[in-house]
Each structure stands twice: as C-alpha cells, then as structure tokens.
Amino acid sequence: MTTIRQLYLLKALTLIVSIHARLYLDPKHHEMSQLESPNGIEKKLVSKRYNFAETNPKSNSNDLQAPPPAPTIEPFQKQNDKDKKKKLKKDAVSSLEIIGRGGGGEVYKAYMQDGSAIAIKKIVRPVEGGRELVVGYTTTSSLNDTWSLNNTRSLDTKMGQVRSEILMVGKLRHRNILPLLGHVSRPDCDYLVTEYMKNGSLEDLLQEVKAGHREFDWLARHRVALDVVSGLEYMHLNYTPRIVHLDLKPANILLGNDMEAKIADFGIAKSIPDTETHMKSSKLAGSLGYIAPEYYQTMEFNDMCDIYSFGVVLASLVTGKLPSDEFFQRSEFSLLKWMWNVMIGEDPKQAIDPKMLGNGYEEQMLLVLKIACFCTLDNPKGRPNSNDCRLMLAHIEH
C-alpha cells in the first residue's frame, strides 16, 4: 500500500507543479505587477495547498547520521581545558595553508597525521566597542557578504555568535550539514575545526564556471539542490527545536570530494520552540539578495525565511547568476525579478545558464525554476515547506 500511495503522490506532484506553474507563469493569466504581489493566486495555492498530509516528513531519515567517530562537541565551557588544546596541537596540524582570509581572521587547510584534511576557522576576538568583524565565512569570495543593520557589535554579542554556532552545530547530525569536529578557545581568538570540503563553496564554483575554468553539469547541480533541501528538511522538520539558518546562500554551501553539498556557517542561526510559529529578532542579519521580505519588513522569522533563500539558491543553480553579480548591481532588476520577467516571456529558456543549453535537460531546469518561483513568493503562506521542495525535486526525472 505504501508503494501505491507513493506512486499516487508522485503523479500528484507532477500535476501540481504543472498546474501551479501555469497559474503563476503564464502571461495570459498574469501581468508582472500581479506576480510581484500575487495575493489572489496565493489564496488559491493555500486553499489547494500541496496535500502531503500522508507524507512522512522524516522520509529521508537515511540521511541522518549516527554519531560520527570524530570527537563529539561537549558543552561550550569544557572546550577551554588544556587537554583539548594539547590534543589539537599535538595530533592535528602538521602543515597549514590559508584558504580564506577576512576581517575576522583566516581559514586554514590542515592535515591530520593520518593524512586526512580538515579546515580550521580562526576567529579573532574583537576589541570591545570596535567595528563588527565577520564571524562566519568559508572561502575568500564570501568574506564581506555577511552584514547587519548595526555595523558595530559588542564583544559579548560577537562571541555569543561563536558560542551559538558551537552549541548548535555540535548537536546536528546529518550528511548535508557541515559537522563541527572540535573547538579551541584562546585569549585572543577561537578556532573551529570542521571537515575540509575539497570543492569549495557553491558561490566560488558558479563564478569559476562562468569564467570558463570549471565544469558543472545539470545532474551535479540538481544533486546539490537535493542535498541542500535535505539538510533544511532535517533542520526544519526532523530536529527539535527546529533550526532556522537565516543566512543560506551559495557561499555557505560547501562541496565535498564527490560534489556532495553541506550547509555551513550557523553563526546567526536561531532555534524556534515547537510552541511558537515564528520568532522576532532585535537586529536584522543575513545577506543581501537572500533575505525574505517578511523578515526584512517585520523582523519576524521562521523556516519560511530559509525556503525563500533556498529559492534564490535554486535560481542561481539554473541561471548561473548570483544576486551580487555586477549586472544586477547596475540595473533596476534583482536576480529574482529578472528571472520572473524571463519566465513569463516568450522564451523562458533564456533564463537557463547558456553553458547548459542543448544538454537535453531544459524542461527539467525550467521545472526547477518554477519551484524557485514558489519558494520566493512574497507571501510566506504560499511557499512550500522543505519536505514539499525535496519531494518535488526528487520527482524530476533525468
């Protein structure tokens, strides 16, 4: 019965995506002004919302990791003892290579004595009352992207982000979330030890592909999308209390040896108790081009903010463009507005990365762009949740 039910669900998903795509993207039904604020359509979407009542949100439980052999993270205050410092100094680092640098410190590639590679993020403790320093970053291109409306931050708040990341990520166990392997605290700085991700960030990869230095085919891009949404599903639906990342973007999506994707940098992530539908922040934080409009306008957030950011990531995967591209900085269009305009035009395939045209997957890529449109609706009630997104992406055949 389960198999039959799943088959019906998959067929329903195809129909839903097809019908909703026509509703939103057919120029005969809507003008651009309606797309920017599709209140009427969102009511239809909510009334006929993706009917996954019988879908188990933990259906991708195979992605959950058993506690790894790497050291588990103990409570924050216990990370400062001399034994752990000596262990890192004695066992961990035989050579260092800087792979990222910014106002907050450097990111090093190091080798354990067994030859395995790790990444060590050095976070310099700021002078109290000084300018805000970037807490979380992984590669050179992302050093200056994290921002806050208040560009100065006290020492306590700054190190509170470090403490939050250590305590939060140390408990998460999923193959698509970058695990924290260890932490060392010194008077002048902190060191966070993570897996080394050989292929860098998704942002760097997209930029190198655009420059013609690397290849990134559609099957690999589709897998990255599935990996990221699987990590989000774990955070939003399979972990208690649920976790909202609040800074999901290509720079914080790292790629391993086999191009598997892992979500990184939980410096501004927040937890939401099961008793609450949303939380309110005292300060807006995130990255321009990825922040959900309701968070920007009201300072209230929940997992739908991550879904909005994920929609932007999907748009980047298919178009090959980033919100920070010079074209969008010089024009009146954002990446999303440009994508919506092209999608309702005569030739939606113009939204696809030119390097992927002619590969035979154009229809699949357009389908992913339609999912991106749903994820980035102004009204968060009209957006699919992470389980919906994973099911739709998984159903796209190649």
Flag whether 7 is in a domain: no
Q: Please tell me whether residues 120 and 247 are part of one structural domain.
A: no
> Tens of pLDDT along 181-235?
988 888 888 888 999 999 999 999 999 999 999 999 999 999 999 999 999 999 9
Q: Please tell me whether residues 53 and 104 are part of one structural domain.
A: no
Q: Please tell me whether residues 187 and 214 are part of one structural domain.
A: no
Flag whether 1 is in a domain: no
Measuring CA to CA, which residue among 160, 3, 180, 163 is closest to residue 80? Answer: 163
Overall average pLDDT of the 315-332 stretch:
92
Flag whether 356 is in a domain: yes
Confidence class for position 126, pLDDT limits 50, 70, 90: low
Overall average pLDDT of the 80-102 stretch:
58
Cα gap 108→121, rounded to integer Å: 6
Q: Please tell me whether residues 235 and 180 are part of one structural domain.
A: no
**122 a known binding residue?**
yes
> Tens of pLDDT along 227-285?
999 999 999 999 999 999 999 999 999 999 999 999 999 989 999 999 999 999 888 88
Q: Please tell me whether residues 358 and 378 are part of one structural domain.
A: yes
Flag whether 359 is in a domain: yes
Q: Please tell me whether residues 124 and 171 are part of one structural domain.
A: yes
End residue of a domain, out of 195, 211, 238? 195
Measuring CA to CA, which residue among 4, 56, 1 is closest to residue 390? Answer: 56
Q: Please tell me whether residues 342 and 283 are part of one structural domain.
A: yes
Look up the domain containing 122 and give its range: 76-195
Q: Please tell me whether residues 213 and 130 are part of one structural domain.
A: no
Q: Please tell me whether residues 49 and 141 are part of one structural domain.
A: no
Q: Please tell me whether residues 345 and 279 are part of one structural domain.
A: yes
Is residue 136 scored above 80 in pLDDT? Answer: no
So what's the pLDDT on residue 64? 65
Q: Please tell me whether residues 284 and 147 are part of one structural domain.
A: no
End residue of a domain, out of 141, 174, 195? 195
Q: Which is higher by pLDDT, 310 or 53?
A: 310
So what's the pLDDT on residue 296? 93
Q: Where residue 212 sits, what CATH number does that domain have?
A: 1.10.510.10
Flag whether 2 is in a domain: no
Mean pLDDT of the chain: 76
Flag whether 238 is in a domain: yes
So what's the pLDDT on residue 175? 97
Q: Please tell me whether residues 221 and 176 are part of one structural domain.
A: no
So what's the pLDDT on residue 283? 86
> Tens of pLDDT along 151-174?
344 455 556 666 767 778 888 999
So what's the pLDDT on residue 159? 62
Residue 382 CA to its chain's centroid (Å)? 20
Measuring CA to CA, which residue among 261, 366, 227, 240 is closest to residue 303? Answer: 240
The string of DSSP letters for 266-278 reads -TT-EEE-TT-S-
Cα gap 17→31, rounded to integer Å: 20
Flag whether 47 is in a domain: yes
> Tens of pLDDT along 338-374?
999 999 999 999 999 999 999 999 999 999 999 999 9
Is residue 350 within 8 Å of 341, Cβ to Cβ? no
The number of residues making up the chain comes to 398
End residue of a domain, out of 176, 195, 214? 195
Please give the structure tokens belonging to residue 317.
Answer: 């995967």
So what's the pLDDT on residue 102? 61
Overall average pLDDT of the 117-143 stretch:
56
Flag whether 305 is in a domain: yes
Q: Domain tally for the chain?
A: 2
Identify whether 91 is a catalytic site residue: no
Q: Where residue 156 sits, what CATH number does that domain have?
A: 3.30.200.20
Marked catalytic residue, from 145, 227, 247, 353: 247
